[in-house]
Structure formats: C-alpha cells, structure tokens
Structure 1
Amino acid sequence: MIPNATTDATTTTDSFLAALRHHTGTGDLDWARPPLPLSGGFWAEMYDVEFVDPTERLTGRLVARIMPDPATAAFETTVQRHVHRCGLSVPAIRAAAGPGEHLDRAWSLMDYACGQPLLSGLSAASAFRQVPTLLRRLPLVLAEAASNVHRCSTEGLEDELASHDRRADVDDFLERVAHQAVSIDRLDLASNARQLATQSASTRVICHGDLHPFNLLVDDEQWTLVDWSAAVIADPHYDLAFTTLMLAKPPLGGPAPVRAVARIIGNWLANRFLRTYEQLTAHPIDPDRLHWGRQVHALRALVELHTWDAQGTTSAHAGHPWLALRPHLEAQLSTR
C-alpha cells in the first residue's frame, strides 16, 4: 500500500481510535506512532497504523479502512472474510464495525499488505520505460489472481450475507444499478440493466468486480488482492471483461501519439491476460460472454457518472478513471 503523507486527517483518526477502544473494550489503547494516510482508493480513507502494547488481536502493522457507506462496508468486510477463509491472498480482517457514537462512518481494521501495484506511478510516458516488466509480469499476475478468485467456493457466502442490505448475486447488482438509474431519471440505462440481467449465465463464481492492476499489490513474487467493495457472484467473464477493459483502454494522459502506443500495448496485455487465464483454468474464453461483461461494466460506470452529473459532484471526482474512459464506455454500451 502506498503512503500519502500529504493528507491531514487527525480528526478522523482520533475518532477511529475512540471507536476502536469502545469496540474492543481497551480504553487505554493508543498509537505507537502517528497514523500514516495511504493513497490508492477513490472511495475509502485508509491509514497505516500500529498500537502500543496491543492485545494479540491488534498486534503488528495494520490498515484502518474508513468507509462512507455502511451497507457497502458491511458487505465488503463479509466477502473479504469469506475469501480469506478460502485461502485467497487477501488481508485478514482483525475488527470491523458500523457507524457509532465515536465515528460517523463504518470501519475495518486489517493486516497490512506489503508491496505496491506493478503500475504504481505509471503515466503515458513512463509506461514505455516499464514495458519489459509489464509484458512479462502483469498478464501473469492478473491471470493468477483471477483464476484463484474464481476457484473460491461460494458455499455459505449468501448465508453470511443474509442479514445484509446488499446481496452478492449479479442479478441483484443489476437491479440496484437499474434503481439508481431510475433515481436520476435515466430510464434508458435502467432498461439496459434489466436487459443485461436477462442475459446472465448460469455459471456463477465469486468475482472481485474491480480486478485491475492497482488493486493487486505485488511484493517480489507474492501478491495480495485488495478492495472487495465491488464483489459479485457472477459469470467469470464478468471479471475478465473488467480487467481487459482497463488494460486495453488505460486512462492515461500525455500526447495523442503516446496514448495511441499505450493503447496498442494495452491491447496486447489484455489478450495475453486472457490467454494466460485460459491456460491456468483450462476454460476457453467465450467472446459473447466477454462482450456481456464489458457492457455490464460500461453500464455501471455510466450510471455512476450520470449520478455525479445529476448531483453536481463530478468535479469532486477529478482523476477518477471513469471520467477519462467516458467516451469509450458510451461506445461500448451502444454496441450489440
């Protein structure tokens, strides 16, 4: 995870410490050092933390994740605990709770994951310097992660989520997308969501839902998959579609010729990723299912973008990859 020392969040971390003291019943719990903000996410605030004389449950270097939506936070925590029990390389959750008297947001405390994304600090210009590493490692690591996620058993997950406001099934996800589209008066997008739900495949596996290079932290030969807020139970092509979309259409800046070459490299990486996934799983890629997955992801991103537009908050999301990808997402959704 990547330190971001420029963020001043003393109030948040003080409130989190008070919430954790209350949750664990350890009123004298204190920081071993000031919490260090971590970058890498658009939704949650994250901090690198350690405690003085902690209980066994809170020993070591940990990550505090502060989340604005309690329902999504509870869902993410449940899914992350499930896939950790399956043996997937994800941070173990040490503690978690919803909003309370001390902190007005949900939170979780998990193991610190060493490493950083292979594309850390990437720009259109620097991409060319990293081409050898990208071509060699990136497709393999992503394909390994995808195949391992898809081998996780779904057994028991729906039961674990039974008391939650949010379910994991992709059809439920598409209905929530449709409901959000209706709330901003985009009935056309709501219709798209319901049509895509009728095309869902019967094959269902756990999908990360946001499987891109920045959610995969690499430390030498080890990798850790983070951020489970977008997980669903769906056709495995759902994950493959998102990963290839992000590889083939990298949201990079720079001059037009540089971006054009970056897209060529990105398309090669996307194809290599798919071929490696096929080799690891012995499951052939279905182009029609892949196209379905890309349309689902284009739809969910566009509904989010139109929601920001309707709320007048688009400028607050500056730097989000959906903004750079908007023309491509619109073109993707219009194809049949």
Structure 2
Amino acid sequence: MTVNTVKISAEMAEAALRTAWPQARVIAEPEPLTGGQWATMARLQVRGTPPGVPGEQVLRITPKAAMGAKEVAVQDQMAAAGVATPAIRLTGPAGEPLGRAWTVMDFVTGAPLLAGLDGLGMVRRLPHLALRLPAQLAETMAAVHRVDPQPVVASVRRACPSVAFTIDDLLPHLTAAATASHRPALIDAATAVAASRPDQSGSVVCHGDLHPLNLIDSAGGLVVLDWTGAVLAPPAYDLAATWLLLRHPALPVPATLRPAIAAAARGVARAFIRRYRAACPGADLGSFGWYAGLHALRILADLAVWQRAGDPRAGQYPGRLLAPAATSLLARATGIPIRSG
C-alpha cells in the first residue's frame, strides 16, 4: 500500500510500533483497508503487544498532523465516555519511520452496515433498511450527542488549537473554498450562508459523517469509526449530514432502479429523523434547512475547486453523485439559483 508513493512495509510498521512496544513484531505484510477518503489505513497482525492489547491493530496514517490529532482527541474522549469506538493504542508524529503522523487502534471484527451495497443490493434489502437502519443511526447519533462536550472541546484545543472545531471556525474555510471555485453564484451562496448563521446554543459534539459505512456491526454491537469530521455544533448539523446521505444515496444505479431506490431513500431518511426526535425530544432542529445548505455548500465547493484544478479527486469523490441534490438544497437555503457542474 502507498501514501503519496511511500510504500508501507511490515518493517516500517514494526519500527513505528517499537517506539512504544519494544517486543512488537509485525508477522505479515500490512493489509490495506478501504473506505477512508482521507487517511491511509492498514490492518496489522502483531505479536508482542502489551498485556490487554489485541494482536490485530489498525495503522492509520494521516496527511495532516493537526487533523489527525483532532481525531485522536475526540475518539479518546468518546471512548472514555462509553461510546463504542476503537481504542487508540499509539500515536506518532510526522517523520521517520512512516513519513506522516500516524495512529494505531484496535481492529474491529465485523462489517459496515451497508458493506458491498450497490443499486440492486439496495433494492433487495429495502425491507431490512426500512426496519433497522433508521433506528441504528438515530440511536447511535443520540448516544454521541449525550456526551458532555466540555472535556472533548478541552482535549481538542490542547491537542490542536488551530484546527476548525466549531461552525464559526468552519465558515471561513467554506467561504474560501467557494471563492477559489471562481463561480459567482457559489460565492454569493457562501456569503449568504455565512451571513445567516443560526444561534449555536445547545451545541453538542457531532460526528459530522455518521453514515452506514462508518458504523461497524460487530459481535458486541455497533462501533463508530472515523471522527475526522467531528465538530462542536447544534444537533441539526449532524442530522442534516446523515439525512442528506440517506435521502440521496451516492449510488450509481441503472435508470430502471432509480424510482424504487428514491422511494426507499425518502422513507429511510424520514424514519431516521423521526427516530432521532424520539431519542432526543429536547433537541432544537429548527435550523435543519440551514445546516443542509451548509453541507451542500461544502460538497459543491470541494467539487468545483477540484474540477477547476483538474484534480483527480473530482472524479473519485462520492459527493459528485450528490451534486444535483446539493445544488437544490443550497438554492433552497439561500434563495440563490445555483447551477451544477
């Protein structure tokens, strides 16, 4: 496997582990793990771990040390608060032996809720999705939102004080991305979004990207992965992100299947919101539409910047399949007509 052409070998992984575990031995070549759009991950088979540390670990290498530090800070605090998430065992800075900042955490045996799903598979699993998925996502999200945010915020600020961790931190980045797109309507929409920011009271720690592929169905229950997108925000921020992915699943499907999938997606998305309201009846979701527009802006700005630069990420980004829906949501949130593409 590679990180920007740097091959990650068993010897390199072993050298990283031995910075803290002198007896560690990686007994097979690292097995690449897919699913992450940002970090590079590999499954390690390790002998000589400390007592109580499983021999199966995940090595996660992050391209941006500060973002990796934020993820570690949030994940550690969530695990301490009782949220089911992999235990982090080691961290290391950029430099030798891996080149970039890295983390080692327990490997979770199981599969994502929608592993291997395609358009036809979704149609076949419609009854299962309608019955279980909304509750699984809503109850997991509610458990995350119940965690006291203060220790999490304090840990993040100690580990990486310059990293964006609130809506006010994020808005300048989104405005800058829209400006870099050189698309006037997108720039105007970003300005309108920033100018209409809702009140941030009642903020909780939001996962930011809680979709079925970030939930592992393990023998012990559901386990939450990937805290890279975590922010401090009102619950509607998290709900809007998950709702968008449920309501408009980023699946390339034949035209004949689209009506059935669209109908199922509407039902699953509605049920998810209903289940969350039941789990957190006091949550203020009044600004849901604004947060949906915020997520739409992020999708469209990233895609536009990559397209303008000829960046290959534009063709690989799952959000490209959400562009039509994002265009409509952003126009609805701002009143500014947006053209996709």
Match of 1:135 in 2: 130
Of 7, 11, 22, the residue aligned with 1:11 is: 7
Match of 2:336 in 1: none
Alignment of 1:118 with 2:116, yes or no, is no
Match of 2:337 in 1: none
Q: Secondary structure at the match of 2:42?
A: strand
Match of 2:37 in 1: 42
Match of 1:70 in 2: 65
Partner deviation per Cα, 1:278-317 (whole Å, 9 max, x = no partner): 112223663x42111111111111221122123311x345
Partner deviation per Cα, 1:103-156 (whole Å, 9 max, x = no partner): 221111111122212211111111121112211211111011110010011122
Q: For 2:317, give the aligned amino acid.
A: H
Of 162, 171, 185, the residue aligned with 2:168 is: 171
CA deviation after TM superposition for structure 1 residue 8, in Å: 7.0
Partner deviation per Cα, 1:47-78 (whole Å, 9 max, x = no partner): 11121222237542111111111121111111
Q: Secondary structure at the match of 1:142?
A: helix
* Counterpart-to-counterpart distance in 2, 1:195 and 1:303: 17
Equivalent runs, 1:313-332 vs 2, <5 Å: 313=311, 315-332=312-329
The structure-2 alpha-carbon separation of the partners of 1:220 and 1:128, relative to structure 1 and needing over 3 Å to count, comes to farther
TM-score, L = length of structure 2: 0.88
Match of 1:305 in 2: 303
CA deviation after TM superposition for structure 1 residue 209, in Å: 0.3
* Counterpart-to-counterpart distance in 2, 1:70 and 1:299: 25
Q: Secondary structure at the match of 1:56?
A: coil
Q: Percent identity, please.
A: 33
Check the 8 A contact 1:31/1:49 in 2, yes or no.
yes
Compare 252-261 and 49-58 and name the one that shifted more: 49-58
**Unaligned stretches of 5+ residues in structure 2:** 334-341
Q: For 1:135, give the aligned amino acid.
A: A
Give the number of aligned pairs.
325
* Counterpart-to-counterpart distance in 1, 2:46 and 2:133: 35
TM-score, L = length of structure 1: 0.89
* Counterpart-to-counterpart distance in 2, 1:270 and 1:177: 26
* Counterpart-to-counterpart distance in 1, 2:78 and 2:182: 37
The structure-2 alpha-carbon separation of the partners of 1:317 and 1:217, relative to structure 1 and needing over 3 Å to count, comes to farther
Q: For 1:303, give the aligned amino acid.
A: A
Alignment of 1:53 with 2:48, yes or no, is yes
Partner deviation per Cα, 1:146-179 (whole Å, 9 max, x = no partner): 1001001112222222241204222112222223
How large is the Cα RMSD of the aligned pairs? 2.2
Match of 2:212 in 1: 213
Q: For 2:170, give the aligned amino acid.
A: F
Match of 2:339 in 1: none
Check the 8 A contact 1:212/1:246 in 2, yes or no.
yes
The structure-2 alpha-carbon separation of the partners of 1:121 and 1:171, relative to structure 1 and needing over 3 Å to count, comes to same
Check the 8 A contact 2:166/2:232 in 1, yes or no.
yes
